[in-house]
Amino acid sequence: MKKVFIFGLALLSSVTLAACGNSNNESSASSKNTTETTISVPDSEEQADVYFDGETLKINMATVKIISSEVLTPDESVYRDNNQLAFVYEVTNDDEEPLDGSMAWIACMNAYQETENTVGKLDVGATPQDEKFAEYREGEFDELKPGGTKKYVIAYDLNDTTTPVVLKATQGVSGEDLGEKTFNLK
């Protein structure tokens, strides 16, 4: 009886060790597969293509280039009540789907200006109605076709005309910070 018990225990131990050995091999193989599938070269290249260098913003869906900026003074004839910092910019749709070009700026750019006690986010002001901006207002809410390029205008209401404005870029509304540029007002 004792011999049967020892033989059974040895057999059970052998089977258990064999099963553990097989699961380790399978585990190693599946770990290797998982590691290989999670490393993706296209993802890292895509991330490297997202940036803001102070003049050009490159995000996954579009390229936004700042063409010019200027301070606009209040002018009743064009319905402007505040001093504004206006930007003319160009958007190229790099996506395969149509894109609202004006929203590419709105979703990615924010302007800030310090006050005595705070660093305040500037409000987007009324679109400049000056004649020189007329071409940028035409079709400003039309969708931009894939590969298409169009120029737009946007303005921010200033707290004052002496404190610099910092333009900060992100990868979309809640995306990562991509950079910033300071505009000294004259």
Question: What's residue 31's pLDDT?
Answer: 47
pLDDT band at 40 (very low <50, low <70, confident <90, very high): very low
pLDDT in tens, 140-165: 889 999 999 999 999 999 999 999 99
98 falls within a domain: yes
Whether the model clears a pTM of 0.75, i.e. scores above it, the answer is no
CB 177 within 8 A of CB 110: no
Burial class of residue 172 in the structure, from the number of CB atoms within 10 Å of its CB (0-12 exposed, 13-18 middle, 19+ buried): middle
38 falls within a domain: no
Question: What's residue 115's pLDDT?
Answer: 83
29 falls within a domain: no
**CA pseudo-torsion sign 79, 82, 88, 92:** negative
21 falls within a domain: no
Task: From residue 84, give the alpha-carbon distance in Å to each of 104, 121, 124.
Answer: 20, 14, 9
135 falls within a domain: yes
> 58: domain range?
51-183
Tell me the CATH number at 115.
2.60.40.1240
Q: What is the mean pLDDT of the chain?
A: 82
Q: How many domains does the chain have?
A: 1
Count CB-CB contacts under 10 A for residue 159. 19
Question: What's residue 21's pLDDT?
Answer: 53
User: With b meaning 16 or more CB within 10 Å and e meaning fewer, what string describes 29-62?
Assistant: eeeeeeeeeeeeeeeeeeeeebebeeeebbbebb
96 falls within a domain: yes
